[in-house]
Amino acid sequence: MADRSGSKPGFEEEALPHLDAVYRFALRLAGNVDEAEDLVQETFLRAYNAWDQYERGTRAKSWLFTICRNVFLRRREREQRHEEILSENVDRDGTSEDLVNPIWRSAAGLDPEGEFFASIVDDRIVQALENLPEEYRTAVVLSDIEGMPYAEIAEMVGVPVGTVKSRLFRGRRKLQEVLFDHAVEAGLIPASASVEGGA
């Protein structure tokens, strides 16, 4: 219920501190400032209108992120069909191919600990992240940048924890691969290192 000033008690205190985080999340989803700003406004407007249904003391950031992603996905659905992603029922306990990171195999002896990551410019990393399919991107952003637990991501996105793990695994590997290739091209590691397909 709104008070006399028209505001809803507690909303600003709980929601506003997450503005920068919601903005960054929106930016990663949308890929451009204009759309991200629009997404943020709609997110806060919807959150404000649904404030009476929000359970105080629960995770406000997670709640705002959920709204933001839902708004984004609905808009995208109107524009295009979802990008198809590969089957997600990956057996993570399976092959040895899964276990050894392919870029480690390529970089071994040159930069086995991946120090080249520190030399890659921010914009290039952001670009690589934004090129991931939305499902992988969201999982990576929520886990690696926002530090959310797997269970919270699963609840937010509406998938089992195993799917979150699988998306993280695939998303991270893909990103690492792209960034490794960039590092080789940019001369950040010797050109003799290149990603090889096999084990």
Residues of this chain that bind other proteins (CB under 8 A): 2, 5-8, 11-12, 15-16, 19-20, 23-24, 27-28, 37, 40-41, 44-45, 48-49, 92-93, 96, 98-101, 103-104, 107-108, 112-115, 117-118, 120, 122-123, 125-126, 129, 140-141, 143-145, 149-150, 165, 168-169, 172, 175-176, 179
Distance CA 72, CA 80 (A): 12
Distance CA 187, CA 32 (A): 29
Of 125, 30, 107, nearest in space to 72 by CA: 30
Nearer residue to other proteins within complex by CB, 135 or 174 = 174
Within 10 A of 149 (CB to CB), how many other CB atoms are there? 12
* Helix or strand holding residue 147 (H, E): none
**Please, what is the minimum distance in Å from the beta carbon of residue 165 to other proteins?**
8
**Please, what is the minimum distance in Å from the beta carbon of residue 9 to other proteins?**
11
**Please, what is the minimum distance in Å from the beta carbon of residue 55 to other proteins?**
19
Of 114, 118, 159, 117, nearest in space to 139 by CA: 159
**Please, what is the minimum distance in Å from the beta carbon of residue 86 to other proteins?**
18
Nearer residue to other proteins within complex by CB, 175 or 193 = 175
Nearer residue to other proteins within complex by CB, 135 or 153 = 153
Structure token pair of residue 46: 């919807």
Is residue 119 within 8 Å of residue 188, measured between CB atoms? yes
AA letter at 148: M
Nearer residue to other proteins within complex by CB, 2 or 82 = 2
Nearer residue to other proteins within complex by CB, 7 or 83 = 7
**Please, what is the minimum distance in Å from the beta carbon of residue 48 to other proteins?**
5
Nearer residue to other proteins within complex by CB, 75 or 172 = 172
**Please, what is the minimum distance in Å from the beta carbon of residue 142 to other proteins?**
11
Distance CA 114, CA 94 (A): 25
Of 29, 105, 102, nearest in space to 65 by CA: 29
